């Protein structure tokens, strides 16, 4: 279903305005991405509804309405549709059939088809190949015959489940055929892709927002540092990566979004290969890794460093409001705040962190900290890259986060 522009505020004629009929936007999922979507929508004057099975969730806590139901529960979906003028999602594993149901009656962005492709590494890689963007050499493994037929050249490699992997979960590194066979057993012989291990110099991501009319705007590529498979640090400023690759990464992301006829915010993650490596000579320096059909952790700095954040753009794409090219007004570095910082029960020294100039603290309202759990993030903005680096490193020291 395409969308007529959905304006914020009270609906109805002048006579009924103020009668309490507030235009409401819905989101499938109650995590931190849903929370920041809800906050952006509310700032513009929309009411919000969150569908999430948990009694307490980061987005449910701050939304006008929280529909506590399973993602496939027909009653819950009916309630969401009844409340909402349009519906978005905040995590890629929302069941595609739920989006089909919603999409038959309401504008839903991103749509079931695009989300279905992003949920499955096999379909996702095929899409990248279709777009002509280089991927790591890979093989699909769905049967013992395909396992046996894997080319030696793909080893050492990483075996990744086709579905439901995130933050480094659902993948195993293998260096021999015997290890590969054992790893596939360990992953319960589900559909997988085996990717050749590439010599990475760095990783980056590009976030675009594409509207119902096909217009597309983008943020500049972010440089991302992962630790233990989880994003740790994002650096967003001019000069953060080789300038020759900046335009290439943006163009690749736009073509991936256009080919999907994508509507909403899309993040595409890339590898930058080591310059002198054989892989870079044969594949090129920029390799697409994966995409997320939603705002992304690596774009959280846009809340504090840009005139439009990735969540503002999610609201605008969903409602058909104008898409403007966002402008970054400050260099930025984001540090992820994982549950590890709370593990001894004490609160981290926020008073000292907030004494640093340009510090912006975002905590997601999660009641329980655990190792590797994303509890919040800290963004540093400032006049110069040197200043932002100095304050971000000072915060990392205060928090016991390894320097970068
Ligand atoms: P997830 O869905 O868990 O984020 P990814 O496919 O992005 O899974 O892999 C997690 C991390 O593992 C990547 O960010 C990268 O650091 C590393 N990695 C993944 N694939 C490769 C590869 N083919 N070669 C080298 N490193 C890789
Ligand atoms: Mg990843």
Which residues, 6 or more positions from 42, have their beta carbon under 8 angstroms from its beta carbon? 48, 62, 64
Ligand 1 centroid vs 350 CA: distance in angstroms? Answer: 32
For residue 27, list its beta bridge partners.
Answer: 50, 88
Would you place residue 91 in the very low, low, confident or very high pLDDT band (cuts 50, 70, 90)? confident
Separation between Cα atoms, residue 155 and residue 387, nearest integer Å: 43
Which residues, 6 or more positions from 362, have their beta carbon under 8 angstroms from its beta carbon? 36, 300, 303, 376, 377, 378, 379
The atom of ligand 1 lying closest to the CA of 269 is 7
DSSP state of 403: P
The atom of ligand 1 lying closest to the CA of 287 is 23
Tell which one of 119, 120, 158, 277 to mutate to probe ligand 1, the residue whose CB is within 8 A of the most ligand atoms.
158
Q: What is the pLDDT of residues 316-328, one digit of tens each?
A: 999 999 999 999 9
Separation between Cα atoms, residue 237 and residue 332, nearest integer Å: 6
Q: What is the pLDDT of residues 150-198, one digit of tens each?
A: 999 999 999 999 998 877 789 999 999 999 999 999 999 999 999 999 9
The protein residue whose alpha carbon is closest to atom 2 in ligand 1 is: 166
Tell which one of 195, 268, 280, 289 to mutate to probe ligand 1, the residue whose CB is within 8 A of the most ligand atoms.
289
To the nearest 10 degrees (0 to 180), the angle between helices 310-319 and 32-43 is 70
Average pLDDT over residues 126-136: 97
The atom of ligand 1 lying closest to the CA of 199 is 25
A 10 A CB-CB count for 394 gives 16
Would you place residue 3 in the very low, low, confident or very high pLDDT band (cuts 50, 70, 90)? low
Separation between Cα atoms, residue 205 and residue 357, nearest integer Å: 27
For residue 347, list its beta bridge partners.
Answer: none
DSSP H or E run through 312:
helix 310-319
User: According to the model, what pLDDT value does residue 164 have?
Assistant: 87
Ligand 2 centroid vs 165 CA: distance in angstroms? Answer: 9
Could you say which ligand is closest to the alpha carbon of residue 170?
1
DSSP H or E run through 202:
strand 200-210
CA quadruple 227, 229, 234, 238: dihedral, nearest 10: 100
Q: What is the pLDDT of residues 326-355, one digit of tens each?
A: 999 999 999 999 999 997 878 999 999 999
DSSP state of 387: H
Separation between Cα atoms, residue 335 and residue 156, nearest integer Å: 31
Percent of the chain predicted with pLDDT > 70: 97
Q: Which two tokens stand for residue 282?
A: 């044969």
Mean pLDDT of all residues belonging to the chain:
94
Ligand 1 centroid vs 25 CA: distance in angstroms? Answer: 34
Ligand 2 centroid vs 169 CA: distance in angstroms? Answer: 10
Ligand 1 centroid vs 42 CA: distance in angstroms? Answer: 35
Report whether 301 contacts 334 (CB < 8 A).
yes
User: According to the model, what pLDDT value does residue 351 have?
Assistant: 97
Strands 24-28 and 47-51: parallel
Strands 138-141 and 192-196: antiparallel
Q: From residue 397, how far is each of 201, 231, 344, 400, 403 by CA, in Å?
A: 25, 18, 17, 5, 7
- pLDDT above 70 (res 361): yes
Separation between Cα atoms, residue 236 and residue 205, nearest integer Å: 10
Strands 24-28 and 157-161: unpaired
* Residue ranges around ligand 1 (CB below 6 Å): 136, 158, 160, 165-168, 195, 197-198, 200, 203, 226, 229, 269, 289-290
User: According to the model, what pLDDT value does residue 4 have?
Assistant: 81
Would you place residue 1 in the very low, low, confident or very high pLDDT band (cuts 50, 70, 90)? very low
Separation between Cα atoms, residue 114 and residue 117, nearest integer Å: 5
Separation between Cα atoms, residue 101 and residue 2, nearest integer Å: 15
Burial class (CB in 10 A: 0-12, 13-18, 19+), 316: buried
DSSP state of 105: T
Ligand 1 centroid vs 168 CA: distance in angstroms? Answer: 7
């Amino acid at each position: 279903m395409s969308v007529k522009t959905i304006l914020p505020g009270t609906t109805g004629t002048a006579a009924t305005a103020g009668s309490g009929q507030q235009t409401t936007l819905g989101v499938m999922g109650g995590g931190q991405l849903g929370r920041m979507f809800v906050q952006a929508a509310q700032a513009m004057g929309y009411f919000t509804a969150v569908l999430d099975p948990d009694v307490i969730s980061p987005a449910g806590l701050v939304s006008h309405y929280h529909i506590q139901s399973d993602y496939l529960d027909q009653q819950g979906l009916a309630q969401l549709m009844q409340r909402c003028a349009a519906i978005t999602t905040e995590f890629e594993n929302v069941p595609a059939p739920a989006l089909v149901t919603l999409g038959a009656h309401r504008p839903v962005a991103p749509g079931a088809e695009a989300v279905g492709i992003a949920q499955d590494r096999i379909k996702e890689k095929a899409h990248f190949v279709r777009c002509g963007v280089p991927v790591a050499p890979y093989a699909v493994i769905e049967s013992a015959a395909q396992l046996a037929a894997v080319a030696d050249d793909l080893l050492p490699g990483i075996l990744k489940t086709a579905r439901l992997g995130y933050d480094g979960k659902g993948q195993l590194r293998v260096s021999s055929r015997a290890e590969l066979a054992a790893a596939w057993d360990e992953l319960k012989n589900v559909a997988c892709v085996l990717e050749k291990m590439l010599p990475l110099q760095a990783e980056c991501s590009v976030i675009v927002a594409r509207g119902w009319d096909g217009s597309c705007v983008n943020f500049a590529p972010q440089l991302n540092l992962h630790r233990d498979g989880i994003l740790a640090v994002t650096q967003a400023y001019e000069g953060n990566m080789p300038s020759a690759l900046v335009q290439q990464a943006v163009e690749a992301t736009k073509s991936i979004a256009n080919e999907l006829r994508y509507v909403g915010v899309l993040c595409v993650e890339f590898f930058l290969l080591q310059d002198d490596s054989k892989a870079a000579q044969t594949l090129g320096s920029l390799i697409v890794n994966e995409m997320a059909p939603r705002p992304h952790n690596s774009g959280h700095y846009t809340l504090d460093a840009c005139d439009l954040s990735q969540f503002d753009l999610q609201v605008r794409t969903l409602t058909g409001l104008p898409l403007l090219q966002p402008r970054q007004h400050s260099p930025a570095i984001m540090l992820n705040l994982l549950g590890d910082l709370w593990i001894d029960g004490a609160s981290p020294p926020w008073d000292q962190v907030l004494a640093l100039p340009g510090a912006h603290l975002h905590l997601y309202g999660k009641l329980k900290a655990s190792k590797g759990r994303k509890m919040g993030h800290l963004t540093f903005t400032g006049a110069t890259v040197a200043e932002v680096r100095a304050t971000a490193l000072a915060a990392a020291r205060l928090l016991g986060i390894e320097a970068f």
